[in-house]
Amino acid sequence: MQKLQKYFLNTEVLMKTRHSLMDIYAGHEGYVSDKWDIYLNTYDRLFKNLETSAVSLLEIGIQNGGSLEIWSKLFSHFKIIVGCDINPDCAQLNYESEKIKLLIGNINDSNIQRQLDAISNEFDIIIDDGSHTSSDIITSFFLLFPKLNTGGIYIIEDLHCSYWQSFEGGLFNKSSSMNFLKSLTDIINYEHWGVPINKSQLLAEFNIPADVDTEGLLSEIHSIEFINSMCIVTKNQPQNNVLGVRHVVGSQELVAKNKFANGGFLVPEPQQSHVQSSSNFESEKDKKIATLTLEISELKRLLNEAQPKNG
C-alpha cells in the first residue's frame, strides 16, 4: 500500500513539475534557437514519453546551436546529442556537457558519416533541419534512417521549401522532397499494390544512394505523418508493418458472411498489372494546364506590380 501511495505521489509531482517544450523555449537563455509554433507543439506531443529516457538524438542543421541546449534540457537523462552543420563557424560553439557533440561538414559526405559512426550509429530521434534542398533531404533519409533505432522517430523540418525552385522544389516538380515523402505513403501499403514491381522501382525517379539496402530500409517504415512544413516517419520491424492476421470474432452473421476470414484468411489483392504505368497517368492536357496556371499566376503578379501606387 505504501509503495502504491509513493507511486501516485511521484506521478503527481512529476505532472506538476513538467514543463512543456514551449515553456522551456520561453525561459531559454544562451545560444539562439529558432522554431515555429507548430514545431514546438508537435515535438511536445512526440517527445512527451521520452523525456526521462536515455535518448540519443541527431540534428542536422544547428545554426546558432541553441536547439542542442534545448534538447539537453528537455531530455534530462539523454545519452548523446549530436549536431551537424556545414557552416565552419559552428565550430566555435561550446557546450557544458561532454555528451553534446558537434560535426562540421555535409552530413551526406562519407567522411562525415564515418565521424558520425565513431560517435554513435544508433539514434532514437533524427531531425533534418539542414539545407532543405530536395536532393539533400532524400539522400540524408537513405543514409540516416538505417541508423534510427526500432521505434525511433525521423523528422524533416521546413518542407515548405519543397515548393520553391531555389530548393529543387515546386508544386509540380515530381522529384521534390515532398513528392518523395508522399511516395513513402504508398510504400507502407506495398502489400496491396497488385502490380509486379518492388518498392525501389516506385522510387526510381529519385536519387537514391547506390550502396543502400533500399528494400530492407523501406520495409522498416511504420508510419508517415504530415504536418504543415513537417514530416514524421517512424520505424519498426518489418513484421510489425504489414496488415497481419484478420481477426473475426462472434458467432452471429446476419448481414455479411465474414466468419471464414478468421484465422488469417485474406482475400488476395486484385491484380492491377493491366493498369497503365504511372508515367501515363499524367496526360499532356494535365501538363499544359499546370504550365498555364503558373503563367497566369506570374502575369497577375507582374500586372499587380505595374499598377500605379496611390500616394
Q: How far apart are the first and last CA of the chain?
A: 78
pLDDT, tens digit (0-9, with 9 covering 90-100), for 149-173: 999 999 999 999 999 999 999 999 9
Band (pLDDT 50/70/90 cuts) for residue 6 is: low
Does the residue 285 lie in any domain? no
What pLDDT, on the 0 to 100 scale, is given for residue 157?
Answer: 98
Does the residue 263 lie in any domain? no
pLDDT, tens digit (0-9, with 9 covering 90-100), for 9-33: 555 544 556 688 999 999 999 999 9
Does the residue 145 lie in any domain? yes
Domain extent at residue 191: 2-240
Backbone angles phi, psi at 223, to 5 degrees: -150, 155
Does the residue 271 lie in any domain? no
Does the residue 304 lie in any domain? no
Q: At 117, list the grid cell.
A: 559512426
% residues pLDDT > 90 (the chain): 68
Q: The pTM is what?
A: 0.82
pLDDT, tens digit (0-9, with 9 covering 90-100), for 189-207: 999 998 888 999 999 889 8
Kindly tell me if the per-residue pLDDT of 179 is higher than 70: yes
Q: Of 229, 251, 215, 113, which Cα lies nearest the Cα of 163? A: 229
CATH of the domain at 117: 3.40.50.150
What pLDDT, on the 0 to 100 scale, is given for residue 291?
Answer: 62
Q: At 301, list the grid cell.
A: 503578379
CA of residue 116 relative to chain centroid, distance: 20
Does the residue 276 lie in any domain? no
Does the residue 63 lie in any domain? yes
- Find the radius of gyration of the CA atoms of the chain: 24
DSSP-derived secondary structure letter, 250? -
Does the residue 112 lie in any domain? yes
Q: In the chain, how many domains are there?
A: 1
Band (pLDDT 50/70/90 cuts) for residue 282 is: low
